[in-house]
């Protein structure tokens, strides 16, 4: 496995719609493993192929719902997801605003409105169809990564963007 270089704005690939994955070969399996390793090293909870300069409809997610438990509590097992050619097929009526950051936009965070729950249709790492229902923080991560595959960044949807450590109430939006 290898750490891949994460590209940052204004890299043009971050603004382009990625192409569907059609080959499920050994190279794809290596790439998926590399993406998980790169994401962990960064560190992050999700990574899309365009973020490592590859125009492919591929994203990986690794997160444990109760990751922020108190000290001394056993760490919950992280769930891993590989999303190939993903499509959001169902969304909740409820939307929530949450704070997001991005490995491709270091130094900024923002408040983004997302669906509270979604259902995604995708292919797994072996090309088999999967349907995944997620809610809460996991739904936010999935939507963020799927946006990357469509050339959309969190700053495009943010109601407010600021540098961490600044007083966000005094910050004006960046658009």
Does residue 113 lie in a domain region? yes
**Structure tokens belonging to residue 167:** 């007083």
Q: Which domain holds residue 109?
A: 12-162
Determine contact, residues 53/22, Cβ cutoff 8 Å.
no
**Structure tokens belonging to residue 91:** 């969304």
Does residue 6 lie in a domain region? no
Which residues does the chain have with pLDDT short of 50?
A: 170-175
- What CATH number did the domain enclosing 84 receive? 3.90.45.10
Cα separation, 82 vs 33, in Å, equals 10
Which long-range CB contacts under 8 A does 168-173 form with residues at least 24 apart? 168/111
- Determine the pLDDT at residue 19: 98
Q: Give the 3-state secondary structure of residue 93.
A: coil
Cα separation, 10 vs 136, in Å, equals 30
Does residue 140 lie in a domain region? yes
| Model confidence pLDDT, tens digit, residues 5-23 | 999 999 999 999 999 999 9
Residues tagged active-site = 145
């Amino acid at each position: 496995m290898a750490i891949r270089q994460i590209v940052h704005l204004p890299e043009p690939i971050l603004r382009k719609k990625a192409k569907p994955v059609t080959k499920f070969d050994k190279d794809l399996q290596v790439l998926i493993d590399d993406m998980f390793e790169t994401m962990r090293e960064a560190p992050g909870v999700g990574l899309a192929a365009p973020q490592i300069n590859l125009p492919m409809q591929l994203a990986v997610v690794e997160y444990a719902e109760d990751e922020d438990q108190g000290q001394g509590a056993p760490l919950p097992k992280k769930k891993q997801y590989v999303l190939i050619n993903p499509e959001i097929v169902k969304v909740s009526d409820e939307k929530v605003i949450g704070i997001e950051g991005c490995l491709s936009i270091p130094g900024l965070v923002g408040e983004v409105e997302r669906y509270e729950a979604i259902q995604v249709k995708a292919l797994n790492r072996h090309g088999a169809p999967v349907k995944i229902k997620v809610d809460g923080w996991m739904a936010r991560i999935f939507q963020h990564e799927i946006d990357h595959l469509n050339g959309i960044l969190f700053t495009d949807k943010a109601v407010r963007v600021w540098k961490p450590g600044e007083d966000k109430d005094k910050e004006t939006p960046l658009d």
